[in-house]
Structure 1
Amino acid sequence: MVNVTLNTEQQLYVLDHGRGYSCFGFANAHDHANQMAERLKRPDLAFGEADFGTLSGYQKYLAAVEAWGKSLLSRKTYFDPATDPKAARVLERCREAHAKVRLILGDTATGRTWLDEHDVVGRIGRSTGTLKVPLLIEPGADGGIAVLTACLLAIIDWESGKFLFRHPRYRAPDLLIRPSDDTERPWEVLHDEQVVACFWDIGKAGAYVAFMRGETVEPRIFQ
């Protein structure tokens, strides 16, 4: 049985699994429980004023998950409460079509990308379990990692290079290639005057910049 304690300073539920620990945010429990309560039309599962940051709140979350698992909604893909509805629809279409896509992740409040080069190209799958979340499955892989759907800035069709989803705040990063003093990697890429990558070949630096700005360039070219 999992033992749950509170870390009020960091607003986390700390879960003791016996052989290790994991954490779950107070806000996550609140948002997920309320989303499931609304979609299940079960207001009794929603957080009350006294539930946030309490053990009763975590129990509300578990009750919502259990109710979700017993409903027909559990057969559908489950998205983070902060996911843009258009992004969710696009992900579902891509999953059903087995389409290869490129994901751009970042801060949806500012539109600034994280400049991820790994785990962002592949097809969309879906996990098993009670909450079936979207997965990004890389070419040749049998499984994948959960997509941070609340952090999606863009979804790009790999074959055409067309933006299937573009967050209103998304902005392609301004990247600069310049020579460096490093004899082994004489080309560096800057973002906001900070070095974010270094390369021995300027062609690889250019491929990296193109990829980070949304072009469907195979990452193996510059990695």
Structure 2
Amino acid sequence: MVNVTLNTEQQLYVLDHGHGCTCFGFTNARDHANQMAERLKRPDLAFNEADFRALSGYQKYLAAVDAWGKSPLSRKTYFDPATDPKAARVLERCREANAKVRLILGDTATGRTWLDEHDVVGRIGRSTGTLKVPLLIEPGADGGIAVLTACLLAIIDWESGKFLFRHPRYRAPDLLIRPSDDTERPWEVLHDEQVVACFWDIGKAGAYVAFMRGETVEPRIFQ
């Protein structure tokens, strides 16, 4: 039995599982419950003003998940409420076509990329369970990690290099390669005047920069 308490200062539901605790944000619970309520046409499952800072809000979320699991919609892919609708459609097409893609993740408010080099190239799969979320499955892997769909800045077709989705705020990062004083890794890459990577070979540094700017360069070339 999970014991749920409130941390109103940080706006979190604190879930005590007996062997440890997890947290779930008030905003997350509200947005997911409201999305499911709308799609199920069940306004009774949506948050009202009093639910946001109360245990009743978490119960609304659980009720919405339960109702979703009993509906035909549970057979469809479930996306985070903040996912760009175009990105969701592109991910579904890629999943159905078993297409290899490159994902660029970051802050959708600013368009700034996180410069991820791991867990961003693969095919789109889908989880099991009540809420079947998109997964990124890397080559040779049987399973994958959940895609942070609300943080997608771009989706690139790996074979053609074409942008299938590009967030309106996304801008390719400005990266600079320069020599360093490190004899083992004499080349460094800067982003906003901060060192983000170092390499022993300038060719690897160039491949890293190309990858981070959206080119379909195999990460193993520079890793």
Shorter chain as denominator, the TM-score bin is: over 0.9
- Give the paired residue count: 223
CA distance in 1, matches of 2:7, 2:115: 31
Q: CA RMSD in A?
A: 0.5
1:139-196 deviation per Cα after TM superposition (whole angstroms, max 9, x unaligned): 0000000000000000000000000000000000000000000111100000000000
SS of residue paired to 1:198: strand
SS of residue paired to 1:50: helix
TM score, norm. by length of structure 2:
0.99
SS of residue paired to 1:65: helix
Match of 2:168 in 1: 168
SS of residue paired to 2:56: helix
Deviation at 1:21, TM superposition (A): 1.4
Deviation at 1:10, TM superposition (A): 1.3
Match of 1:65 in 2: 65
CA distance in 2, matches of 1:144, 1:180: 37
1:30-54 deviation per Cα after TM superposition (whole angstroms, max 9, x unaligned): 0000000000000000001100021
Q: Percent identity?
A: 95
1:75-133 deviation per Cα after TM superposition (whole angstroms, max 9, x unaligned): 00000000000000000000000000000000001100000000000000000000000
Deviation at 1:205, TM superposition (A): 0.3
Deviation at 1:219, TM superposition (A): 0.5
Deviation at 1:20, TM superposition (A): 1.7
CA distance in 2, matches of 1:7, 1:183: 50
SS of residue paired to 1:189: strand
Match of 1:150 in 2: 150
SS of residue paired to 1:153: strand
Match of 2:212 in 1: 212
Match of 2:195 in 1: 195
1:52-91 deviation per Cα after TM superposition (whole angstroms, max 9, x unaligned): 0211000000000000000000000000000000000000
Flag as ranges the 4+ runs of structure 1 deviating above 2 A.
none
Deviation at 1:22, TM superposition (A): 1.1
